[in-house]
Amino acid sequence: MNEGRARELVAAERARIETALADLTGDIRASGPLERQQTGEQEEVGTDLQMEGVDMALVANLREQLAAVRRAEERIAAGTYGRSVESGTLIPAARLEAAPLAERTVDEQSRFEREAPPS
């Protein structure tokens, strides 16, 4: 994959992630502190806490994705984008089109995920 296309794909991922993060953090700020939202109904309090937990998990995931964007941008600058960070093997262009932040081949990623300690 040529550098221009790589930059385009990674930039689109950055824009998507930053927009989602801004929307989500804006929603969290708009809803205010949980204490103010509680109306006294126990079921509502549990639901609010659960929703807040989901929102915080989504924010953490988006921040992880943003870190992956930074790593991809660094690989582009270094001329190693499109090569596995594990083996140096070329990552197929079709995989990069579908997953521009891919750091490994499909087989390597599967093995990496199987061997990763549970979070």
Residue percentage of the chain with pLDDT more than 70: 76
Q: What is the pTM of this model?
A: 0.76
AA identity, residue 42: Q
| Closest C-alpha among 97, 103, 106 to residue 2 | 97
Report the CATH architecture of 3-115. Answer: Up-down Bundle (1.20)
pLDDT in tens, 59-76: 999 999 999 999 999 999
Cβ count near 17 (within 10 Å): 20
10 Å Cβ neighbour count for 66?
17
